[in-house]
């Protein structure tokens, strides 16, 4: 969880499995440790989601747990029927608005006729949860997130320490990097000893490009469902919260005026999320992975180049618009392009 969310949404310290104050980045024979300006957290996702649900309930929402949505239909303008299974029983709910927040790929988006994203618009990932002692995590990983580059094309491997576990994974957008080859490469990074302690394996598709449509009538898409994950490092928690904030504001306006046209969701999303963040992240993704400048940027960071180090800090914390990271990398561009 990035520092921006900890600060902006006041995430309580007790939810943190570990407070992260630095990043260790290595690849192609180079390594660098970067202390971030403000710390982020690693969390147990189930505990974090429960906290979010409790905050929603405190604000007046009716939270229905253990309901799996199986169908969504638009019956007429601002009239939807949602079907969900609860303990084997099929239940129906009629509502005036729907917010698709069911991840990627999305049943909600598919059922409501949103255009399908391109297969080039997501990365394949695999992640292990490795059980260790707290002392092992402290000594081997510390209070740092670890990134490993040069392992796969258009992607990287990682290790995020928690209290007594490490979430270690790998992702790639390159079409030839299928899950089986990603697994083999992740196994090689971790080594046999760590693999003996794997207690859970997760496989995901992670988007990195906003869908062409984010709203149809009074149905809106947020988070991964909207394609809102960072195109440089594929993090998505802050993006989910931010897009949900923009969606809530616009759903409220549409319901109050009883008119879906009152929602300016797509416009505000592009103004508040795309323009200061995604627009530059997509360019940096092409620079870092497509043009191979990640290797050169890491070499410069290891030499102490402050433009590159500060750009990495911005990308890790999101405390400033990513446009600033882009311009700092552009300032270092002559050395990036010439660096062997």
pLDDT given for residue 340 in this prediction: 42
As a whole number of angstroms, the distance between CA 108 and CA 96 comes to 15
Supply the CATH classification number for the domain 64-117+209-281: 3.50.50.60
Tokens of 198: 């794997």
Tokens of 13: 């310290």
Model confidence over 97-118: pLDDT tens digits?
999 999 998 999 999 999 988 8
User: Cβ(157)–Cβ(99) under 8 Å?
Assistant: no
- For tokens 């069911």, the residue is 102
Tokens of 264: 């300016």
As a whole number of angstroms, the distance between CA 241 and CA 227 comes to 13
User: Cβ(144)–Cβ(24) under 8 Å?
Assistant: yes
Question: What is the domain partition of the chain in residue ranges?
Answer: 64-117+209-281, 282-338
User: Cβ(268)–Cβ(238) under 8 Å?
Assistant: no
Least confident of 43-47, 118-122, 133-137, 240-244: 118-122
pLDDT tier, 292 (very low <50, low <70, confident <90, very high otherwise): confident
Pick from 328, 299, 333, 296: which is nearest to 312 by CA?
Answer: 328
User: Cβ(284)–Cβ(321) under 8 Å?
Assistant: no
Residue 315 in this model has a pLDDT that exceeds 50: yes
């Amino acid at each position: 969880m990035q520092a921006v969310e900890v600060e902006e949404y006041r995430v309580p310290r007790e939810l943190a499995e570990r407070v992260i104050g630095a990043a260790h980045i290595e690849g192609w024979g180079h390594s660098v440790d970067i202390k971030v300006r403000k710390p982020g957290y690693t969390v147990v996702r189930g505990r974090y989601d429960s906290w979010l649900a409790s905050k929603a309930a405190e604000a007046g929402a009716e939270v229905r747990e253990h309901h799996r949505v199986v169908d969504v239909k638009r019956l007429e303008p601002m009239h939807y029927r949602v079907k969900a299974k609860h303990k084997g029983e099929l239940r129906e709910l009629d509502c005036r608005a729907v917010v698709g927040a069911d991840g990627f790929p999305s049943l909600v988006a598919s059922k409501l006729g949103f255009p399908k994203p391109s297969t080039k618009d997501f990365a394949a990932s695999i992640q292990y949860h490795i059980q260790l002692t707290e002392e092992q995590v402290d000594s081997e990983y510390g209070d740092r997130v670890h990134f490993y580059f040069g392992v796969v094309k258009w992607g990287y491997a990682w290790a995020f320490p928690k209290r007594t576990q490490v979430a270690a994974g790998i992702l790639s957008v390159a079409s030839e990097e299928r899950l089986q080859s990603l697994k083999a490469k992740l196994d090689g990074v971790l080594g046999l000893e760590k693999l003996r302690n794997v207690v859970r394996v997760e496989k995901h598709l992670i988007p990195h490009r906003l869908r062409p449509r984010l709203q149809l009538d009074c149905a809106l898409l947020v988070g991964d469902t909207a394609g809102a994950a960072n195109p440089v490092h594929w993090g998505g928690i802050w993006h989910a919260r931010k897009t949900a904030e923009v969606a809530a504001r616009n759903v409220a306006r549409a319901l109050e005026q009883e008119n879906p046209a009152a929602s300016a969701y797509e416009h505000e999303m592009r103004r508040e999320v795309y323009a200061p963040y995604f627009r530059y992240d997509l360019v940096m993704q092409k620079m870092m992975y497509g043009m191979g400048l990640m290797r050169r940027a890491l070499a410069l960071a290891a030499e102490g180049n402050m433009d590159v180090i500060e750009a990495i800090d911005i990308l890790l914390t999101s405390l400033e618009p990513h446009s600033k990271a882009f311009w700092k990398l552009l300032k270092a561009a002559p050395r990036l392009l010439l660096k062997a």
